[in-house]
Amino acid sequence: MALLPRLRRFAASLSRDLATGDDLCQMTIERALKARQQWAEGTRLDSWMYRIMRNLWIDEVRATNRRRQTFAEAAAGLAVGAPGQQEARTELAFVDRALAQLPDEQREAVLLVMVEGYGYQEAADIIGCPVGTLSSRFARGRDALYSLLEGQQ
């Protein structure tokens, strides 16, 4: 506890911001507590803690620099994705029309297994039929759906 004011002062001077410094101080204390068995009795605790803090700060600066290099500015991404939404809606419309053309039993099986993610046994229990029946309905429905979708492209 006696080190805490000194650690906060060091963290604030490294980060040049009190809030970021407090976060750095907290990360340092967490790291030190996790690695407390690595501290050698008889050595200076403050030096060990400062070294942990400094290494954390260096890691944070490097990560921040990598993020800046990896990602574009926010303004550059404003127009990205708008056409994709329209394409996605078109694709979903194709899928909806193709599903509507399937017989009810096949459509139920395809929706429960492919869309809702149920296993064959669970889907069979929901529909109230044997697993083998569901499996064949699903296979026929899936194949018909793929054929219908290929024909629309």
Task: Report pLDDT for 135.
Answer: 94
pTM listed for this prediction: 0.44
CA pair distance 25, 54, nearest whole angstrom: 10
Task: Report pLDDT for 58.
Answer: 87
Q: What is the mean pLDDT of the chain?
A: 82
Domain containing residue 18: CATH number: 1.10.1740.10
Average pLDDT score over residue span 85-89: 65
Percent of the chain whose predicted confidence (pLDDT) is above 70: 84
In this predicted model, which residue has the larger pLDDT, 135 or 96?
Answer: 135
Please determine, for residue 67, whether its predicted confidence score (pLDDT) is greater than 80.
no
CB of 111 closer than 8 Å to CB of 103: no
Picking from 53, 74, 95, the residue at the C-terminal end of a domain is 74
Which residue matches tokens 């690595």?
38
Helix, strand, coil shares of the chain, percent, nearest 5, are 80, 0, 20
Residue 79 lies in a domain: no
Which residue matches tokens 């290099």?
69
Give the highest mean pLDDT range of 3-12, 13-22, 137-146: 137-146
User: In this structure, which amino acid lies at residue 8?
Assistant: R
Considering the domain architecture, whether residues 66 and 106 belong to the same structural domain is answered as: no
Domain coverage including residue 70: 4-74
Please determine, for residue 71, whether its predicted confidence score (pLDDT) is greater than 60.
no
pLDDT per position as a tens digit, 12-26:
877 888 888 889 899
